[in-house]
Amino acid sequence: MIALERTPGPVESKNEGYRNLVETAVQEHCLQKLLQLIGVAPGNPACSEAHRYVPRVDQAQLELEVATIQAEMNARGFVGKGQLVHSVVLMRAIMVPTDNRLLSMALSRIWVLGTYCDDICEYSRENSYCLLKSAFKVAQPASLLADYCDFAFSELARFCDAGVLAVLRFYFHQPAVGSLFEAELQNTGMQYVAGGAEYIRAMTGFCEFWFLSLQFSDESLNFERNKLFWLEIMEAGIAYLLTMNDVLSAYKEAVAEIEFANSVLYKRSMKHKVPYVKVFQQAVDEGLDAYDFILSAAPPEEPVRRSLLENYMKGYFYWHLYSARYRWKDVFPGLTYLEEGFR
């Protein structure tokens, strides 16, 4: 049986130096280009509405999915979820829109489950092993989580062929390997000195899984019919999701002291003896380069494909900035969290 109790994470940091590093990066306008991307300046009422990114969310469907998934997880005894279900369902609704209500539910369920698995594996190698054994049919005691994964994928299977489902399932379970190493660093106290942060970052991002989920939104992005297109943009998609997550997780990690010390951006700064603000800006620029590359692969002559990719990337940044999970209101006091607005 998988350990359903979430392993306690690091306590809130008393190291003001970490927070100051992130706040300095903001004060140096490192986020400016990203904010312009979605046309917002948190807390600035004078900001023009002309180019503001405003996601469209079906409130009734959102509430139904949150209630259904929450009930399913409660029935299996999963604990420690907090705002996770609501936040991730909202994220999915913003980034991967669909008018098919059953598909919408299936996608939200698997996204919530992926995020939950990532959280409970972060400090527990037993949970990582459980997921990997489940994925590859290695004998182990009965697991409610493994059963829920099977159920979630069986629901998603109604909307894709077996080959695509297998690819998605592979990408879903891949991060458990990265989490296995991440947990070892935490459990041995080696996160400050050990190498491998870049490898762990690449393995734990869920990037291919998150990105390929967009194939459900329209035939122009269908994986089976557009493999070469996906091959062309996959590297850039991974780069965008990873770097934006590095940047937009920075403050949350600075609050959780251990996480910041083990973060990729901070380790790069220490390893190469480069100011943190410079590393932060380089990550932003790398993410924006990936954004531009992906859009260039879907020119204006392909308006549906292009608009879905653009919405996906803008929505990813928007959700991270406005989600309570990432605590940016501490830095931008005028910001209103999504969880406060979508109820």
For the chain, give every domain's residue range.
16-40+58-341
- 169 pLDDT higher than 90: yes
Tell me the range of 4-18, 38-52, 102-116 where mean pLDDT is highest: 102-116
- 10 pLDDT higher than 60: no
**Over the stretch 295-328, which tens digit does the pLDDT of each residue have?**
999 988 899 999 999 999 999 999 999 998 899 9
Mean local confidence (pLDDT), 163-179? 94
Higher pLDDT, 28 or 260: 28
List, in order, residues 6 or more apart from 219 with CB less than 8 Å away. Answer: 225
- CATH number for the segment(s) 16-40+58-341: 1.10.600.10
Q: Tell me which residue of 148, 152, 134 sits closest to 76, measured CA to CA.
A: 148
What confidence tier does 197 reach under pLDDT thresholds 50, 70, 90? confident
CB 204 within 8 A of CB 175: yes
Report the percentage of the chain scoring pLDDT > 70. 88
Q: Tell me which residue of 10, 89, 8 sits closest to 252, measured CA to CA.
A: 10
What confidence tier does 118 reach under pLDDT thresholds 50, 70, 90? confident
**Over the stretch 274-294, which tens digit does the pLDDT of each residue have?**
999 999 999 999 999 999 999
Residue 12 bridge partners (DSSP): 256
CB 253 within 8 A of CB 17: no
Rounded Cα–Cα distance for residues 221 and 272 (Å): 40
Mean local confidence (pLDDT), 139-163? 94
Rounded Cα–Cα distance for residues 128 and 173 (Å): 9
Higher pLDDT, 120 or 242: 242
pLDDT value, residue 226: 96
Q: What's the chain look like in SS3? A: CCCCCCCCCCCECCCHHHHHHHHHHHHCCCCHHHHHHHCCCCCCCCCCCCCCCCCCCCHHHHHHHHHHHHHHHHHCCCCCCCCHHHHHHHHHHHHCCCCCHHHHHHHHHHHHHHHHHHHHHCCCHHHHHHHHHHHCCCCCCCCHHHHHHHHHHHHHHHHCCHHHHHHHHHHHHCHHHHHHHHHHHHHHCCCCCCCCHHHHHHHHCCHHHHHHHHHHCCHHHCCCCCHHHHHHHHHHHHHHHHHHHHHHCHHHHHHEHHHHHCCHHHHHHHHHCCCHHHHHHHHHHHHHHHHHHHHHHCCCCCHHHHHHHHHHHHHHHHHHHHCHHHCHHHCCCCCCCHHHHCC
Helix axes 101-121, 125-135, angle to 10 degrees: 140
Rounded Cα–Cα distance for residues 73 and 89 (Å): 14
Polymer length in residues for the chain: 343
What confidence tier does 192 reach under pLDDT thresholds 50, 70, 90? low
**Over the stretch 247-261, which tens digit does the pLDDT of each residue have?**
999 999 998 766 787
pLDDT value, residue 9: 39
What confidence tier does 3 reach under pLDDT thresholds 50, 70, 90? very low
pTM equals 0.89
Mean local confidence (pLDDT), 105-118? 95
12 phi and psi angles, rounded to 5 deg: -60, 140
